[in-house]
Amino acid sequence: MTIPVSTCPAVKEYVKDGVMDALIGNTVQGFPLVVCYDKPGQYRPPEIIAIGKIYDRRVDGFAMVGSGGAGWLKEEYEFEVTVDVFRPGESLVVDAYNRAWALMSVVENVVRIDPSLGGLVIRSRPDRSYDDSEWERDGKGWIVSVTTRFTVLAQI
């Protein structure tokens, strides 16, 4: 019997690939962008989309399958995406803020266009978001972060 695996890794990959495809031609002149899992490494460009953590994964019975194999369980979880945008100088916080939310809209649209995420899950959707802005620690400009949690229901 094949043991079903969680959809978490495949969902993160689907969203990352979808965001990268959606961003073709959507970069701002002079501001490189990276799409990564969790937090970026040493390279920290001015625009970062981090396909992040999985939260509160819960597994429960879904359908009566005598073997306990594929289709027997459902999993529900949240995954988080964070967009960070840096703009140099003292007066560009509005530009950074608008760009961070515009990039988050790109991420949300990947999920909204196909809530089944290519058939990987039963449904997914943006659930809740928050933002934060701060003066960069060396005083070189503004960093704006927008974080959204997405909820997922899948049969495994």
**What average pLDDT does this structure show over 130-141?**
88
Q: Give the other-Cβ count within 10 Å of 67's Cβ.
A: 8
Which CATH code, of 3.30.2000, 2.20.25, 3.30.70, 3.30.450, is assigned to 8-155?
Answer: 3.30.2000
**What average pLDDT does this structure show over 48-74?**
85
- Tokens of residue 32, six digits: 């490189």
Q: Give the C-alpha separation, 127 to 23, whole Å.
A: 22
Q: Give the C-alpha separation, 34 to 143, whole Å.
A: 15
Confidence of residue 3 (pLDDT cuts 50, 70, 90): confident
pLDDT tens-digit readout, 78-113: 999 999 999 998 777 788 999 999 999 999 999 999
Q: Which amino acid is at 4?
A: P
pLDDT tens-digit readout, 13-27: 999 999 999 998 666
Q: Give the other-Cβ count within 10 Å of 42's Cβ.
A: 4
Which of the two residues, 2 and 74, has the higher pLDDT score?
Answer: 74
pLDDT of residue 83: 96
Q: Whole-prediction pTM value?
A: 0.88
**Percent of the chain scored above 70 by pLDDT?**
92
pLDDT of residue 74: 94
**What average pLDDT does this structure show over 1-15?**
89
Three-state DSSP at 55 gives strand
Confidence of residue 54 (pLDDT cuts 50, 70, 90): very high
Beta strand residue intervals within 62-119, DSSP E:
73-88
- Tokens of residue 83, six digits: 């967009």
Write the DSSP symbol of residue 4.
P
**Residue from 30, 68, 70 nearest 47 by CA:** 30
